[in-house]
Every structure is written in C-alpha cells, then in structure tokens.
Amino acid sequence: MTQTVEPTHRQLGMTDSEFDSVVRILGREPRPAELAMYSVMWSEHCSYKSSRRHLGRFPTEAPWVVVGPGENAGVVDIGDGWLAALRIESHNHPSYVEPHQGAATGVGGILRDVFTMGARPIGLWDQIRFGPLDEPKNRYLFGGVVSGIADYGNAVGVPTVGGEIGFDPCYSGNPLVNVMCLGILKRDQLVLGTAGTPGTVAVLLGNSTGRDGIGGASVLASASFDNESREKRPSVQVGDPFEEKKLIEACLELYTKGLVVGVQDLGAAGLSCATSEPAGRAGVGMEVDLDAVHVREPEMTAPELLMSESQERMMAFVDAANVEQVLEVADKWEIDSAVIGVVRAGDTLTIRHKGEVVAEIPAASLADDAPLYDRPRARPSELDDVWATEPRLPDDLDLADAVLRLLDDPAIGSSAWVHEQYDHMLFLNTIVGPGADGSLLRVKGTNKGLAVSTDGNGRLCQLDPRRGGARLVFEAALNVAVIGAEPMALVDNLNFGNPEKPEVMWQFVESVAGISEACESLGVPVVGGNVSFYNETEGVDIYPTPVVGLLGLADPVPNEPPRIDRAEEGMEIWEIGPEPTASLAGSSAERIVLGTLTGRPTAPDPEVARQVIGLVRELAHTVPVLHDVSDGGLAVAIAEICIASEVGATIELGDPSLLFSEDPHRVVAVFEHGAVEPPGDIARRIGTVGGVALTLGDATIDIATATDAYREAIPRRMTS
C-alpha cells in the first residue's frame, strides 16, 4: 500500500483554496512559520469564517456603548465615572478532553479578555451542560469541570456569582462550558488592543512559552470529535491561577500608572494573534524577535512559538521611555517579562528566529483577509411534523409525583452542591448570589448595582431557534428585572453543531435573528460574543444552544432586593404576566414526564415583555419575593419559594399543563395583602402562603419531602 502524505496546510486544517489565498496575498509560497500563523488565525475559532457574515445582524449600538464587538471585551458606561466590561467565551472541546484543566483555562482566558481592557474582573458566571448523570463518564466530566472552575476561580480571586447547569443526552459526547466575566473600570483607564505608533515596544508578560495546545484553536475548536481525538489531541494547556492573579495585579498597576499604550491577551493562536491583531488594528507593522521570548521547553521551532497557547500571558505595548518602569512593575509582582518586539511604520509583520526571518507578512491580512463563507442553509424537513405534534400529559397524571420528579431533576434541583464549591463572596459586592434568577453586585461608592443573568435553552432552540433565541433574551431581561435592574447590554455564546450541515447553519442564522429581534425590541445592544461550532460527536450535533449573558443596571439598588426565601404565612401569591397557554413544547415537564421533544414553543410578545419587565422592576423595590417562571413552570417556581422559605402554599390552579407551562414573560410575586396593587390586566392572584404542604388543586406535596428531593437532586447522583 502506498502512503500519501497530506500537504502541510491540510494537516493544519486549511483547505486548498485557503492555501491559494495565502499564496496570492504573499505573492509566493508561505514559509512554515507563515503557514502556521495563517492556519490558526484563519481557523473557524479565530476567524469566524462561517458565522461572520451573519453576526452583523446583531444590534450593537446604544448611547452607553463605549466599546462594541471586535475588541477583547465589550464596554458600557454605567455612570458615575465607571465603565463595565463584559465578555463570554466557550471552552467546550478542551473540557471534553480534560474537564478540570479545560474548564480552568476557560476561566483564565475570559478573565484576561476583561482585564486586558483595563478592568478589574469582579464576577464570573458559568453556563455548563452535560449528558445525564446516570452515566459515569458524564459524572466525571461534570465533577471535573466544577472542580476546575472552583480551583481556578477561587485561587485567582474572582468570585463566581452565578450561572446555569443543564443536562441532556445531546451533550453526552460534547459538554458545553461557557464562562462569562464582568469587570469594572474608571472611565479614564480604558485600554484597547492596539500596538500604538512606530517605536512602541512590545513586552511579553507572564508565563513562559511551552508547547501547550499547539494547534489548539484549529484542531480542538474547529473540527469534529471522534474516538481518535484522544490520540491526536495537542498537549493540554494547564492553568496556573497564581500566575494569573499576579498578572492581573501587575496589569492593573500598569494601567493605574498609565504605562501602556495598548494590551492584548494571548489566548487562541497565541503570539500569532497578539502580534498581528494589535498591529492590524493600529495600521502599523512590527518586528518581533522570537529568541527573546522566555520559553519553558528547549528547541521550540518558530511555528511552535507562534502557535503555542501557553496560558497566563499578556502582550503590553509600551512607549520606549516607559519600558524600564514596566519591567520593574513585572518584577515587583514576580512575573517574568521580555521585550520581544518593536512597532514599525508600514504594515509588515516581520518575525525573526535564530537570526533568520521566518515570517514577513502584511500584519492585517491575518485578520482582515480571512476567508468568509456563506454556507448553505436549509430548514430541517421534519420540523413541520415536529411542530404539529403538541406534547400532552396523560390524563391520569399524578401531579404531586410529577412535581417531585421535576424537583429531583439535577437541572432544576438546588445548585448548592456546585456553587458552594465556588467563592461567590469575595470583594464584598454580592447582594444576590448564585441560585437566584439573576445575580446582583453592588458598585462600591455608588447607589448602583450590576445585575447579570445568563440563560440558555437548547430544547427550545431545537424546536424553534428563532423563538428560542428571542425567549432567552426576554428571560434574561426578566431575571435582572426581578432584582430591580434595567437591561443594558448583552453578550452571546453561540454553541452549535457542524456548520457544514445546512440544517445547522439554518439553526444558527434563525437564532441570531431571534436574539437580534428581542434585543432590538428591548433596546439592548449586543457588545460581544463568541461562536462555537462543530459541537458534535460521531456525526450527531448538539441541540442549537445559544447562551446569552445580560447585564442590567439597578439604579438605585433596592434596599431589600426580592429573594425567594422571604415568603411568610398569610402572604398572597400572584402571577404577573400573560395568562399561560397549556403549551408544553420544549418544557422541562415534557422532558421529564414524557421524554419527548415536540411541538412549537409559544412565541414571545415584545410588547407584553416590555410591560412586564417595567412593572417587575418597580415591584423589586417593594415586594419581598419575585421569582421568574421558567424551568418547570409555575409549579416549580412556587415550590422553590416554599422550599427556600420553609413554608407551604395553596394554589387554586390544578391543571398540570398550565402549572408546568413555561410560556414566557411570567413572574411569581409574593407579598402581604394590599401591600401593592398590580394592574389587573397583567396580574392575578393565584394563591396563599401557609401550612406545611404545597397544595396545587387536588394534589398535595409535603414541603419536607419536596425539600429533600430538591436539595439532593445533584448530590445523590454524584455520590452514588
């Protein structure tokens, strides 16, 4: 048998026509280091070549947007001289290969995106999804991801204050790990990823460079998984939160002292990206000497140095006169530093190694000339049949038993097993922490608070990616409204299957449209995002799972923000929002009771959404309990209030379909009789707090039993 050797560009994941583009740009065959740089920068992960065309659909402008998409993080003005920086990113594939380190380095990466902007990171949120916990492999992945987030986040000293956990068989071979970070900075400390003007010096700060994750961006995040991936994986990146902590403090000191012109973090594509992007943005060229880079391993080649994804590294661009001071700050914080390059006029990025030029390319071409694909799209043919099949609960359903089964579901039950492993209190800002609808952090020295909700729902989006995408935005907006905040800016993490399949591409474009329409109707700009394609295993795609992270501003912070543990005997229970339909399409009850996924989710109504959000935001200042109706519908929302408040309730409604419906724009409010008078057209009294049981029509559930199911949902599975 004859062995055919793949040409190098194909081994690096590049198509023949992409290779031809490189030859055209350079006017010659690329050198090995040049080919390496183009291959990582033009990978799906770095170039967004399949998605870029569609991301322009997002509304990105508002008077308070300071930095929109395209930089390391989005930045908005929250008043009083403060800005907030936010970003979300996925680490799905690395977390499958090595869950602990994959999740840990995901946290490290998103932190760098935020402190690159001049901000101090003040909160992290994790959106994590796995296959069912009855499979040992999924328990291993879940446990590893949680411990990785805990080890890194706790030690680096940034509190993890919220997030969401989901389980579905579609994530068994491809877990989702999305991390969002929020930072704050004074207005005059904003730093951009620019290389500055000719003469500016490039200083590499932080960890030494090793062969970590060589080709990670292109190999791991831009291709499908199969059983061979364990063999062909690149060496896994290991996170060092201690190094990152020192790097954060050193960078913040550099910003305070005004010592940097621009900063770029080293993430995917490492030095290739951290040299070409800032130079491209500034419209300048650059000379880089790879021999100056501090390395961990001997004998590294130029392509390896340029592609390495070693963690905890930053590139600072510094006026020549300030270099000594920058190196002193690095020394004080006990991090390594090296002057590795200088900015030149023109547009050429010249890289030398061992005295020879190994790359000489137009700096901007790595980003600007990246391929752009308009991949074919097709609406899945089976969708009409799916929509026509409305899920129906059996007539003889045991309602009490069904409620207990929902409470015992690890996606619905208490997340304490997870969030008590995370430091969620550091910095003394956490007014509302993990386990609530949204999180609320105070902004010290002001009356303001920053609220964040992260939301995803692959089932809704599988059934209808447009409605599903829109409903995520409305749900997140309601989640920040219940703690008194007005929606302000959104970041998204678009987790999808293989974009080379027309159905996946259709799902993607529909989701983007749904998210865009909802954002437009609420006046919320999208300030950044991330796309993760190729989330498939053995040819089976995950459900389309866009995740949104919504930032809201509470001004002022309610004196006593509503909490679900403040219901008391005798209080009234109200439902605020439209009357639900009996639709269970995509709901948790459909998943848990019926085990199906059919029907068409109820359409959101932007007009009603705005009305409810406005009303709820006002109520947040007076009402003790407000709780968003989402997974498990009214039944679960009220059960959660009862469990947290250690008291029963009586609800007149006994129709399981209405109790489990997850129709949008609804909130449960609990308050003393007459304390507030919600408008009758959008609110109705549905019950009373009291006793030791939850009564739903004819069904009765003992609160102690419900509490046990809810609290043990995750621990009992993880310790079995």
Partner 1 sequence: MRVRIEITRRPEIADPQGTTIRRALADLGHEQVERVRVDRVIHLDIAGDDRSAIESQANEMCRQVLANPVLEDFSVEVLG
Partner 2 sequence: MRTAVVQFPGTNCEHDVVEAVTALGGSAELVWHRDTDLSDFDGAILPGGFAHGDYLRTGAIARFSPVMTEVFRLADSGAPVLGICNGFQILCEAGLLPGALIANRDLAFICRLVEVEVADTDTVLTRTATVGQRIRIPLNSYEGNWVDPTRRGRVVLRYVDDPNGSQQQAAAVANDRGNVVGVMPHPERAIHDFLGSSDGNLLLEGFLHSLAPA
Using CB under 8 A, which of the segments 11-19, 80-88, 95-103, 644-652 binds partner 1?
A: 95-103
Q: Which residues of 199-225 are buried (b: 16+ CB within 10 A; e: fewer)?
A: ebbbbbbbbbbbbbbbbbbbbbbbbbb
The binder of partner 1 chosen from 92, 101, 222, 498 (CB under 8 A): 101
Work out what residue 245 binds among partner 2, partner 1, none; the CB cut-off runs from 5 to 8 Å by kind: partner 2
* Nearest-angstrom CA–CA distance, 576 and 566: 18
Nearest distance, CB of residue 645 and partner 1, angstroms:
43
> Binding pattern to partner 1, positions 236-265, x when CB under 8 A?
xxxxx-xx----------------------
Exactly one of 134, 291, 334, 607 binds partner 1 (CB under 8 A); that residue is 334
Q: Does 210 bind partner 1 (CB under 8 A)?
A: yes
Q: What single-letter DSSP state applies at residue 592?
A: I
State both tokens at 31: 């050198």
The DSSP H or E segment spanning 75 is: strand 74-79
Angle between helices 606-619 and 502-522 (to 10 degrees): 50
State which of residues 8, 147, 235, 446 lies at the interface with partner 1 (CB under 8 A).
235
Nearer to partner 2, 123 or 241 (CB): 241
What are residue 165's DSSP bridge partners?
128
Contact indicator for 429, 444 with CB cutoff of 8 Å:
yes
Choosing among partner 1, partner 2, none, which partner's interface includes residue 212 (Cβ < 5 to 8 Å by kind)? partner 1
Task: Kindly provide the residue ranges of all beta strands, DSSP E only, lying in 285-327, ordered along the sequence.
Answer: 285-289, 313-318
Q: Site for partner 1 (CB under 8 A): which residue of 212, 287, 541, 662?
A: 212
Structure tokens at 186: 């004074």
CA dist., res. 504 & res. 391, Å (int): 24
Binding footprint of partner 2 on the chain (CB under 8 A): 150, 154-157, 240-243, 245-246, 332-334, 416, 419-428, 430-431, 442
Q: Could you say which of 160, 174, 178, 207 contacts partner 1 (CB under 8 A)? A: 207
CB of 710 to partner 2, least distance (A): 17
Note whether 95 binds partner 1 by CB under 8 A. Answer: no
222 binds, among partner 2, partner 1, none (CB under 5 to 8 A by kind): none
Q: Which is nearer to partner 1, 296 or 332 (CB)?
A: 296
Nearer Cβ to partner 2, position 96 or 422? 422
Question: Considering just the CA atoms, what is the radius of gyration of the chain in Å?
Answer: 26
Residue 116 C-beta: closest distance to partner 2, Å: 20
- SS3 at position 148: helix
Interacting partner of 154 out of partner 2, partner 1, none (Cβ under 5 to 8 A depending on kind): partner 2
Residue 59 burial by Cβ neighbours in a 10 Å radius (0-12, 13-18, 19+): middle
**H or E, element range at 671:** strand 667-671
For partner 1, the closer of residues 207 and 479 by Cβ is: 207
CA dist 634 → 105, 385, 472, 478 (Å): 38, 28, 18, 15
Query: Residue 228: which residues within 8 A CB-CB, separation 6 or more?
Result: none
Question: Closest separation between CB of residue 428 and partner 2, Å?
Answer: 5
Query: Within 463-482, which residues bind partner 1 (CB under 8 A)?
Result: none
Nearer to partner 2, 150 or 542 (CB): 150
Supply the minimum distance, in Å, between the C-beta of residue 354 and partner 1. 21
Q: How many Cα atoms within 13 Å fall on the side-chain side of residue 514?
A: 29
Shortest distance in whole angstroms from residue 178 CB to partner 2: 21
Within 8 A by CB and 6+ apart from 482, the residues are 437, 438, 562, 616, 620, 626, 627, 628, 667
Stretch that binds partner 1, among 70-78, 93-101, 187-195, 669-677 (CB under 8 A): 93-101
Nearest-approach distance from CB 235 to partner 1, in angstroms: 5
425 binds, among partner 2, partner 1, none (CB under 5 to 8 A by kind): partner 2
Give the residue numbers annotated as catalytic, written as ranges: 45, 91
- Nearest to partner 2 of 137, 332 (CB atom): 332
Tell me the residue ranges of DSSP E strands in 211-346: 262-265, 285-289, 313-318, 337-344
Determine, following the binding rule CB under 8 A, whether residue 61 of this chain makes contact with partner 1: no
Whose CA is closest to 158, among 109, 95, 91, 213? Answer: 109
Closest separation between CB of residue 447 and partner 2, Å?
12
Using CB under 8 A, count the residues that bind partner 1. 21
* Residue 332 DSSP code: H
Place of tokens 């406005």: 614
Residue 317 φ then ψ, to 5°? -105, 125
Say if residue 556 is preceded by a cis peptide, omega within 30 of 0: yes
The item of partner 2, partner 1, none sharing an interface with residue 197, based on CB under 5 to 8 Å by kind, is none
Positions 299 through 318 that interact with partner 1 (CB under 8 A) = 310-311
Residue 331 in the binding site for partner 1 (CB under 8 A) = no
Piece in contact with partner 1 (CB under 8 A), picked from 177-185, 233-241, 549-557, 689-697: 233-241
Shortest reach from residue 370's CB to partner 1, in Å: 29
676 binds partner 1 (CB under 8 A): no
Assess 232 for contact with partner 1 (CB under 8 A). no
Closest CA to 157 of 423, 510, 371: 423
CB closer to partner 2, 465 vs 558: 558
CB of 305 to partner 1, least distance (A): 14
SS3 379: coil
Q: Return the HEC string of 21-43.
A: HHHHHHCCCCCHHHHHHHHHHCC
- Say which entry of partner 2, partner 1, none residue 618 contacts (CB below 5 to 8 A, set by partner kind): none
Task: List contacts with partner 1 (CB under 8 A).
Answer: 97-98, 101, 207, 210-212, 233, 235-240, 242-243, 296-297, 310-311, 334
